[in-house]
Amino acid sequence: MKTNSEGARAIAAVIIVNLGLFLAVVTLPSFQAAHHHWIFPVFAALLAAQWALTFIPSPADRLVDRRALRASVVSLLVLLLVVGIARHATILACFDRCSFKLAAAAAIAGCVFLGHLWTRDEGFWNPPRASLAAIASWLWALSLVLRGLNLAPWLSDLLFVILALLLWLGRDRAAFLIASLGILIALAVRATANEYAIIGLSVVWSVALPLWAAPRVEAFIAGRRVLPAPAEAVAEPLGRKVLMSVMRIAGAVAVIAGIARFVVGPLSLVTDPAKRRAYLAARAPASSERDPGTLTPLAARLRAHVLMLSRTIGERDAYHPKGRERARDYVLANFKEAGYSPKALPYGSRWMRDVKNGTSFQNVEAVLSVRAPRPRGSWVIGAHYDSAPGTPGADDNASGVAVLLEVARLLKERAPGREVRFVAFGTEEPPSFGTRNMGSWQYASGLKDDGVAVHGVIVLEMLGYYNPRPGSQLYPPFMQLFYPDHGDFVGAVGNIASRALLGEFGASWKRASRFPLTSSVLPGPFAGLALSDQLNFWDLGFPALMLSDTAFYRNANYHEASDLPETLDYEKMAEVAKALAAAVEESPD
């Protein structure tokens, strides 16, 4: 009874003290002048200070047990985080970067939980609960920081998958095991884009699991650590021992050789830009450029688009507004010339590196409508028209925009059965890449907010560089076992959710054209290997493909000043444009 009464007195004391502190803080003129979300880090800091003060002897020790006080403060910190989780949608929507404020509160709470773990308190907040609460708080803080940095969710997801794998290494402790599995479950739930499911899971993960599951999982794991008594050793023949040793050594050598051949080699090229450029440049084709007078009409038009964007206009990145505006106007004019009524869709930048907040960028959209009744779901075909800083961007991505414009012209003459939305994205390259400042993120968000039904998205990313020489095509590890080693094809890449679209598109392409197309489905976090605008459509739940010449896996000029119009093959680009138009036209209702 004494323990219960001390616990009750501790809880009452902590509640009374913090109610008084709350009233005192919110009535301060300086606090009233500040943003109201400051209450989270301020109160977390006050609770952390109270927890630290319980280690200092005082006359109140005769009335209230210090351990009970510490546990009460920790419980109040958990309540503060639950309120923050419940309010996270409004906090994230705040333009005052309030996600950092909630992140600070979560980080402070994590430090208190860690300190409580070191006290080895065997009360309610025992080590298993305290350790899991600390990890959950820090992971929650990290997710809020990434959101505050305006990172695209797919990039945050990739970072958290890596964290989950690292935590899995410590799975013999309940906190690491639950945290690792919790991250993967949280990512799966977040993919549903259901706000209530996300909030519910966050509360379960941050509160219910530490309260209920952590001690039980820790006890279960501890039970499994108890090893059975060793059986009596049985003598093994010497010959068998030698044979088994030789087999183990041979197996290890084979595994090491395989890793060196199929993992280390490809990774060293893919991850080292200078080494990769040197390797690909040594295998560059003799010349891709043909006499312009011998080009077919479609190839000549594609060449004219690339010349205008990459040579006449030149750099059109976030730091060259005049070039970007000229490129936008060129796209608008060509859509109008093809018979469309295009429109510019403006959006403002937010926390883009070295770019003023609110700087205006524009996507350009042209819609090819169909006669009613209309099949459910539109095609979206898109390409970014900006270039990487310091480059003319012929292949990346004037080639994609050129194919976009010519496919729009071809389909205007044929009138396909589905509505087709052609869109040129204003920002894809750094400093917008991997953030919500990407034009594709803005456009996909608009489609989702407006409830537009989408049959499929095709992102055109670098479609002009081809090389038939053996060894001219690189891949991520192991993929070279299944795909050609020469770069004279285009690749279509989808994620697992887009595999039906990929199959439909690939079948239509092959019926319409003999131009080689390879298809790849990249599961889970590996989908991030396809670095382009389709990532944002995937993240928002749309089926999407990237159509590409594979970018830096083939083209040594990727993001270099040498990405020039004369390095491209316009006849092959013409074949791609014709095949793409035919595949979209053939799409089943």
Which tokens belong to 520? 């790849």
pLDDT at 1: 42
Averaged pLDDT, 382-411 = 97
Between these two residues, 16 and 271, which has the higher pLDDT value? 16
* Cα end-to-end span (Å), the chain: 73
Q: How far apart are CA 561 and CA 314, in angstroms?
A: 11
pLDDT at 38: 80
Q: What is the CATH number of domain 274-345+377-585?
A: 3.40.630.10
Domain boundaries, the chain: 2-224, 241-271, 274-345+377-585
Cβ pair 159, 146 in contact under 8 A: yes
Between these two residues, 386 and 30, which has the higher pLDDT value? 386
The pLDDT confidence band at residue 440, using thresholds 50, 70 and 90, is very high
pLDDT at 214: 66
Cβ pair 543, 500 in contact under 8 A: yes
Find the range with the poorest average confidence among 17-31, 49-63, 107-121, 159-173: 17-31
pLDDT at 296: 95
Flag whether pLDDT at 517 surpasses 90: yes
Find the range with the poorest average confidence among 212-216, 224-228, 352-356, 474-478: 224-228
Percent of the chain residues past pLDDT 90, beyond the cut? 40
Averaged pLDDT, 9-33 = 68
The pLDDT confidence band at residue 148, using thresholds 50, 70 and 90, is confident
Sheet strands (E) in 335-390 = 343-348, 360-368, 378-384
Averaged pLDDT, 134-163 = 83
The CA distances from residue 244 to 25, 139, 380, in Å, are: 72, 45, 59
pTM of the model: 0.75
The pLDDT confidence band at residue 285, using thresholds 50, 70 and 90, is confident
pLDDT in tens, 50-70: 888 888 876 655 666 778 778
Averaged pLDDT, 532-558 = 93
The pLDDT confidence band at residue 266, using thresholds 50, 70 and 90, is low
Query: From the centroid of its chain, how far is CA 87?
Result: 24
Cβ pair 442, 363 in contact under 8 A: yes
Flag whether pLDDT at 79 surpasses 70: yes
Cβ pair 324, 316 in contact under 8 A: yes
**Helical spans, DSSP H, in 367-453:** 400-414, 439-450
For residue 282, the SS3 value is coil
pLDDT at 54: 82
pLDDT at 286: 76
pLDDT in tens, 400-425: 999 999 999 999 988 788 999 999 99
pLDDT at 569: 95
Average pLDDT, the chain: 83
The pLDDT confidence band at residue 571, using thresholds 50, 70 and 90, is very high
- Which residues face 424 on adjacent strands? 364, 383
Most confident of 62-71, 98-107, 299-308: 299-308
Flag whether pLDDT at 98 surpasses 50: yes
Flag whether pLDDT at 227 surpasses 50: no
For residue 170, the SS3 value is coil
pLDDT at 209: 59
Beta-carbon contacts of residue 79 (< 8 Å; ≥ 6 apart) = none
Averaged pLDDT, 101-117 = 89
Most confident of 80-84, 199-203, 396-400: 396-400
pLDDT in tens, 313-335: 999 999 999 999 999 999 999 99
pLDDT at 2: 46
pLDDT at 80: 84
Find the range with the poorest average confidence among 52-66, 138-152, 535-549: 52-66
Find the range with the poorest average confidence among 177-191, 348-362, 409-423, 504-518: 177-191
Find the range with the poorest average confidence among 94-103, 218-227, 384-393, 410-419: 218-227
Cβ pair 163, 546 in contact under 8 A: no
